[in-house]
Amino acid sequence: MKRTVQVEPSGLLGNPRSAPVLLFGAVYLGLITLLRAALSIWEWSAADLSPLSFAEVLGVGFLRDVFVFAWAALPAALFLWVAPVRWFSGRVWPFLIRGALFLAALALVFSMTAEWLFWEEFRSRFNFIALDYLIYTREVIGNIVESYPLIVILPAQALVALGLVALIRRPLARAFEGRPTRGGAAVLVALLIALAVVDTRIPAPSNSAPFPNRFQGELASNGLGTLVRAYRDPILDYETFYRSLPTEEAFHRVRNLLAGEGTTFVSEDPHELLRSVDSPGPERRLNVILVVVESLSAKFVGSYGNQDGLTPQLDLLAPKSLRFTNLFATGCRTVRGLEALSLSVPPTPGRSILHRDHNENLAATGWIFKDRGYDTKFFYGGRAYFDGMDHFFENNGFEVVDRSGLSDEEVTFQNAWGVCDEDLFGRVLRDGDRSAEEGKPFFSMVMTTSNHRPYTYPDVVPIPSGSGRHGAVQYADHALGRLIEQARTRPWFDDTLFVIVADHCASSAGKREINLAKHRIPLFLYGPSIVEPGTVDRVASQIDVPPTIFGLLGFDYQTRFFGQDLLRPGPERALVGNYQSVGLLRNGVLTLLLPKKEVAAYRVGERDALTPIAPVEEDLLDAISYYQVAGDLFRDGGLARIPSP
């Protein structure tokens, strides 16, 4: 039986073709604004907010939300505009519309929850990380299941979605009794199209524009909008988005920057960085175990000033090691750390090289060791397809050993991210034993996972498993201590250099485009018969670790590395990046290159506090040269593997 439809039109909110979109739009804009306000209040101090700037964040954010809603709602508005008139006269249609609105409300509540949790972890709107998480669903979903009480969260989200639909029940019911005119719906479609067109004419904002710091810019952003931007521009062509120099000048500067003691350029080609490195001492075919510790900020380590007693094993190791006090992570993701430690290249803007096409057979550390007859392996406690690690390392001189290569007998504890650090280190030791029995030196690059949410681990440290980051740091430290302790019982221990470094810091975001304090990481070189204990205060970054290792081993080799041996004379500088911002730290000044060809500079004070200053010309030109040349070389194949002599 058909119901009677009123014939008199009653505006867009009374038109069943346009009312569902408009009513949901009001709900969407209201909730997204509420989320922005809540995040702003949470970050009030960190974002340097005042009542006026808070209002500006809400106002600019509201406009961005309107544009995003216009794009998202346009398909639904078009569908309702062209739907046959007879659909609107049946009893099923209102039920279907309410069902669709419930699903849309549920998706909205889910995305808002995800944005809140993402902000809690990364202090940022959705970006490249969120995009990657959509790809690697197994690890991410497992992490969520182990970290949050979904049995409470999911039903609560459904109830909230039902409440939102109930909130618009009455105006929606009145709209169902209105006349489904196409003319009225066309007005809404035209409005949404106009908003979408205007949005295409507005340049995409940088991390902070038009605000004085990054936090305010992020708060004013729309999460869905930033996610779409990350998908659309995962790789940023350097010369399109950043300040650049004539190619010849940029390469000339980089060649001068890389020329140092013991290095000789192989070619006179001004666009070629290939050079020979001659070590002062004899070559030593020593084993190397390079442990890359997940999220081990220097601020957690006692020998770097922490007073919480989280790292007793590293603190015992510190006076026996060569410790570097001013080392900075090149980025704020694991793939950036692995990129720097295996390729010794600056963090080019956009996605890491591990995520890019044509990243095979590059001039990587694996080949240098492999060409000398080493067993070269990359160990990871989880599934190495995550972040493209398996493809990258398998095609750059490494054998990959991950969770799939560990038997059940080798695993005592695991969570969503993989096996615990002790289990992983156990496999490293056993493979070292096999290499030694075969008379082969080995290079083992080990990526840990235990210091990662959900922060669960074996019950072997005072802080209970699952209680937070500090407990995970304490367990990671315990596992490192066990690794050294067990390695001492091996006959190959005296011939092994242990390198302990972080991939990045925990929670690397801050007010500025790059929070320098949250790029500071520890570096220990330990080998009682190999390296003299002490400290090195020289400013450096992760790209300098591979050349320093090769220098200690006395290797003569050819390279296209951008890093330098930190135990030989050379300039102090660090190269750091954060998604779209890249920088050069030198002489107490951080020079940043930003999208839309913008630049910024800061004087670095106590505790890495940043004070804005005018850019220093030489620093700016050298920063441009480093990143422009690195981008050009990868794009043009200039970072290709160097054939063994």
Q: From 431, 394, 393, 441, select the one nearest 555 (Cα to Cα).
A: 441
User: Cα–Cα–Cα angle for 584, 587, 590, nearest 5°?
Assistant: 35
Q: What pLDDT shows up at residue 341?
A: 98
Q: How far apart are CA 330 and CA 349, in angstroms?
A: 11
Which one-letter DSSP state was computed for residue 436? H
- Does residue 222 share a domain with residue 258? no
Helix (H), strand (E) at residue 430: helix 421-437
Domain of residue 385 covers: 241-279+287-512+528-636
Q: Is residue 642 part of a domain?
A: no
- Does residue 263 share a domain with residue 227? no
Q: How far apart are CA 415 and CA 293, in angstroms?
A: 17
Q: How far apart are CA 602 and CA 613, in angstroms?
A: 5
- Does residue 259 share a domain with residue 173? no
Residues β-bridged to residue 557: 277
What is the tally of structural domains in the chain? 2
- Does residue 328 share a domain with residue 249? yes
Q: From 344, 307, 345, 304, select the one nearest 326 (Cα to Cα).
A: 304
CATH of the domain at 488: 3.40.720.10
Token pair of 573 as six digits = 């500088």
Q: Is residue 627 part of a domain?
A: yes
Record the pTM: 0.79
Q: Is residue 425 part of a domain?
A: yes
Residues β-bridged to residue 612: 602
- Does residue 215 share a domain with residue 258? no
- Does residue 258 share a domain with residue 206? no
Residue type, 203: P
Contact 387, 381 (CB under 8 A): no
Q: What pLDDT shows up at residue 9?
A: 44
Q: What are the mean pLDDT values of the chain's consecutive 10-residue runs (645 residues total)? A: 44 89 96 96 92 95 95 95 89 92 95 90 77 64 76 92 94 90 91 93 64 86 86 71 93 95 92 93 95 97 97 98 97 94 93 90 96 97 91 97 94 94 98 97 97 93 95 98 98 98 83 82 97 97 98 96 95 90 95 89 92 96 97 93 80
- Does residue 269 share a domain with residue 228? no
Give the Cβ contact number of residue 594 at 10 Å.
22
3-state secondary structure of 175: helix
Q: Write phi, then psi, for 96 (nearest 5 degrees).
A: -65, -40
Give the Cβ contact number of residue 142 at 10 Å.
16
Which one-letter DSSP state was computed for residue 590? E
Q: Is residue 517 part of a domain?
A: no
3-class secondary structure for 456-511? CCCCCCCCCCCCCHHHHHHHHHHHHHHHHHHHCCCCCHHHEEEEEEECCCCCCCCC
- Does residue 269 share a domain with residue 144? no
Q: What pLDDT shows up at residue 565?
A: 96
- Does residue 478 share a domain with residue 501? yes
Q: What pLDDT shows up at residue 351?
A: 84
Residues β-bridged to residue 594: 598
Which one-letter DSSP state was computed for residue 41? H
Q: Is residue 521 part of a domain?
A: no
**Helical ranges in 299-420 per DSSP H:** 312-317, 334-343, 365-370, 389-394
Per residue in 273-307, pLDDT (tens digit) is 999 999 988 999 999 999 999 999 999 999 999 99
3-state secondary structure of 572: coil
Q: What pLDDT shows up at residue 140?
A: 67
Residues β-bridged to residue 559: 275
User: Cα–Cα–Cα angle for 446, 451, 457, nearest 5°?
Assistant: 100
Q: Is residue 71 part of a domain?
A: yes
Contact 600, 584 (CB under 8 A): no
DSSP secondary structure string for all residues of 77-106: HHHHHHS-GGGGGSSHHHHHHHHHHHHHHH
Give the Cβ contact number of residue 567 at 10 Å.
16
Q: Is residue 6 part of a domain?
A: no
Long-range pairs for 463-468: beta carbons < 8 A, 24 or more residues apart: none
CB-facing half-sphere around the CA of 570: CA atoms within 13 A: 23
Q: What pLDDT shows up at residue 5?
A: 43
Instruction: Give CA separation, 402 vs 38, 165, 244, 576, in Å.
Output: 41, 47, 41, 29
Q: Is the dihedral of CA 496, 522, 543, 281 positive or negative?
A: negative
- Does residue 607 share a domain with residue 470? yes
- Does residue 274 share a domain with residue 165? no
Q: What pLDDT shows up at residue 498?
A: 98
**Helical ranges in 123-222 per DSSP H:** 128-135, 137-147, 150-167, 169-176, 182-201, 214-219
Q: Write phi, then psi, for 500 (nearest 5 degrees).
A: -120, 120
Q: From 603, 605, 353, 306, select the one nearest 469 (Cα to Cα).
A: 306
Per residue in 558-573, pLDDT (tens digit) is 999 999 999 999 889 9
Q: How far apart are CA 357 and CA 314, in angstroms?
A: 38
Q: What pLDDT shows up at residue 46?
A: 86
- Does residue 216 share a domain with residue 175? yes
Q: How far apart are CA 597 and CA 242, in angstroms?
A: 4
Q: What pLDDT shows up at residue 305?
A: 96
Which value, in Å, is the radius of gyration of the alpha carbons in the chain?
28
Q: Is residue 116 part of a domain?
A: yes
Q: For tokens 């201590």, what's the residue? A: 481
